[in-house]
């Protein structure tokens, strides 16, 4: 474990940092986790110990996920859909990886029909790229934080960029321009807060601004990693939609990017809830689920994709569907593939890749929704077998249900929402969440009470 190595001098230095941060800070979630772990039985420790997800020098399939399996879900249908969404994304990513940036003309002459290695990144067949890596960073954050923390997400994206955390190769080989710019800003802000090294990487400084993107960023880097938000919060689709937008803001600040994520999270929630395809793709989907979107309406360009069914183009590429890097066009292409796939994930995901250009991301976005709708069992077994770190991804997916805040805290949050009457009071909302998490962590540490799982 990277954090446990080092010389005695370094360890003393780190101990000093911890002691200083304890004196100066509000609650360090990580340290409370450590305290909690020391007080728990072996069985319980497995549920609450999230340190195994903070290891940055191991590849995903080398992490100790085998000894940290959550309780098996009693809802096999839901589990099938959750696994389907995560693996649908990873397969799409891996299918498109070898031809990323290839134009349509190339793919017309050399269509992708199977997983293959080599090409753009020189990967092995089944290895995936930044889409799945960032989604796994997001997933790990939701699990470790028992909820949404933009700061923690950014720290993990930084680990991926600089240390290869959650990468299929052990290093970051492909980072989008908007994401890179946002992470540069994040690191600069961290250094501003961290000049005297009194805080730890994962400890959020008070007042830290996590919106690190320029307001004009509307590429698809926020949509390609979205699935964990919808899968984690789906039991309250309002939360899923709200946090989908917040998850985009860290790296992609344009309203179209934010609202593309809000809409797509709603569509994934609908698929998880068992809605039929004609309901999910209904021109009135937005109106039919308006209560999920709170008081902030969708950008018109985004809502028009559903309302005017602009993705329903039989000619596909020849009718203007593009596998471009723009969020709005990726959203449209993914919906087009879902609409025209004849109820076959295999058909839809290959159509996405063969659009050309941002092949892996178009397919990964389609895979999040199509995988949730069709389920893991409908994904081609020959592809599942080849996907890198398949069992790790499934274990991560199983943790969503097991790592949420306990009901008592959720009730307090809901009551608070009712009192302030708006889901969009972001700063107040997040402050309350942080406080509640801190109070809960203290209760667990002092009284040894915990999640009833």
- As annotated, the binding site includes 129-131, 358, 360-361
Positions in 243-302 near Mg ion (CB under 5 A): none
Does position 358 bind Mg ion by CB under 5 A? Answer: no
Residue closer to Mg ion (CB basis): 144 or 175: 175
Cβ proximity to Mg ion, 237 vs 355, nearer residue: 355
Q: Distance between CA 43 and CA 373 in Å, rounded? A: 34
CA 108 → CA 91, 344, 355, 378, 436, distances in Å? 21, 21, 8, 27, 54
Q: Between 351 and 357, name the residue whose CB sits nearer to Mg ion.
A: 357
Q: Which stretch binds Mg ion (CB under 5 A): 22-30, 228-236, 360-368, 439-447?
A: 360-368
Q: How far apart are CA 413 and CA 279, in angstroms?
A: 30
Site string for Mg ion, 101-140 (x = CB under 5 A): ----------------------------xxx---------
Residue 360 in the binding site for Mg ion (CB under 5 A) = yes
How far, in Å, CA of 250 to CA of 183, rounded? 9
Is 168 a binding residue for Mg ion by CB under 5 A? The answer is no
d(CA 425, CA 420): 8
Q: Which of 85, 190 has the CB closer to Mg ion?
A: 85
Q: How many CB atoms lie within 10 A of CB 316?
A: 16
Number of residues engaging Mg ion in binding (CB under 5 A) = 4
Q: What's the chain's length in residues?
A: 453
In this structure, what token pair is assigned to residue 297?
A: 């309406």
By beta-carbon proximity to Mg ion, the closer residue of 70 and 371 is 371
CB 413, min distance to Mg ion, A: 34
* Stretch touching Mg ion by CB under 5 A, among 116-124, 246-254, 255-263, 358-366: 358-366
- Binding to Mg ion by CB under 5 A, coded x per residue (else -) over 200-239, reads ----------------------------------------
Distances (CA, A) of 62 to 53, 57, 161, 390, 394: 11, 9, 19, 12, 14
Q: In angstroms, what is the minimal distance from the CB of 178 to Mg ion?
A: 13
Q: Least separation, in Å, of the C-beta of 121 and Mg ion?
A: 9
Sign, CA dihedral 342-347-348-352, equals negative
Binding residues for Mg(2+) are 129-131, 358, 360-361
Q: Which is nearer to Mg ion, 78 or 364 (CB)?
A: 364
Q: How far is the CB of 249 from Mg ion (least distance, A)?
A: 21
CA atoms within 13 A on the CB side of 352: 41
User: What is d(CA 70, CA 207) in angstroms, rounded to the nearest whole number?
Assistant: 34
Is residue 357 part of the contact set for Mg ion (CB under 5 A)?
Answer: no
> Residues 351, 96: contact at Cβ < 8 Å?
no
Distance from C-alpha of 148 to C-alpha of 438, rounded to nearest angstrom: 13
Q: Where are the beta strands (DSSP E) in 243-382?
A: none
Q: How far is the CB of 176 from Mg ion (least distance, A)?
A: 8
Q: Choose between 99 and 305: whose C-beta lies nearer to Mg ion.
A: 99
Question: Could you list the residues that contact Mg ion (CB under 5 A)?
Answer: 129-131, 360
């Amino acid at each position: 474990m990277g954090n446990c190595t080092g010389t005695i001098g370094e360890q003393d230095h780190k101990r000093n940092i911890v002691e200083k941060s304890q004196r100066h800070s509000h609650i360090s979630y990580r340290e409370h986790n450590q305290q909690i772990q020391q007080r728990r039985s072996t069985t319980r420790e497995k549920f609450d110990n999230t340190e195994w997800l903070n290891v940055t020098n191991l590849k995903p399939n080398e992490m100790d996920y085998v000894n940290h399996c959550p309780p098996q879900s009693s809802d096999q249908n839901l589990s099938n859909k959750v696994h389907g969404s995560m693996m649908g994304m990873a397969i799409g990513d891996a299918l498109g990886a070898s031809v990323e940036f290839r134009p349509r003309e190339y793919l017309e002459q050399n269509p992708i029909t199977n997983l293959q290695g080599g090409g753009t990144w020189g990967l092995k067949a089944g290895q995936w790229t930044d889409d799945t890596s960032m989604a796994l960073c997001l997933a790990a954050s939701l699990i470790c934080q028992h909820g949404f923390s933009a700061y923690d997400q950014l720290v993990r994206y930084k680990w991926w960029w600089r240390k290869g955390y959650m990468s299929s190769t052990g290093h970051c080989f492909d980072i989008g321009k908007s994401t890179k710019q946002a992470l540069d800003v994040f690191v600069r802000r961290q250094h501003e807060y961290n000049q005297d090294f009194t805080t730890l990487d994962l400890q959020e400084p008070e007042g830290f601004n996590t919106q690190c993107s320029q307001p004009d960023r509307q590429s698809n880097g926020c949509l390609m990693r979205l699935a964990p938000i919808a899968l984690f919060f789906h039991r309250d689709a309002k939360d899923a939609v709200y946090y989908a937008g917040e998850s985009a803001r860290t790296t992609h600040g344009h309203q179209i990017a934010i609202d593309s994520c809000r809409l797509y999270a709603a569509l994934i929630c609908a698929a998880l809830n068992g809605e039929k395809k004609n309901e999910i793709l209904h021109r009135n989907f937005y109106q039919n689920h308006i209560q999920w979107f709170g008081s902030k309406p969708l950008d018109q360009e985004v809502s028009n994709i559903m309302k005017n069914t602009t993705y329903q183009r039989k000619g596909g590429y020849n009718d203007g569907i593009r596998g471009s890097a723009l969020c709005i066009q990726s959203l449209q292409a993914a919906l087009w593939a879902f609409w025209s796939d004849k109820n076959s994930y295999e058909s839809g995901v290959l159509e996405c890749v063969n659009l050309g250009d941002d092949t892996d991301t178009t397919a990964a976005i389609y895979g999040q929704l199509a995988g949730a709708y069709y389920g893991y069992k409908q994904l081609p077994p020959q592809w599942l077998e080849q996907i890198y770190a398949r069992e790790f991804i499934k274990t991560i997916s199983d943790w969503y249900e097991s790592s949420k805040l306990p009901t008592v805290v959720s009730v307090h949050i809901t009551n608070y929402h009712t009192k302030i009457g708006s889901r969009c009071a972001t700063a107040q909302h997040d402050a309350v969440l942080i406080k509640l998490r801190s109070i809960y962590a203290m209760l667990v540490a002092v009284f040894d009470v915990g999640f009833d799982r």
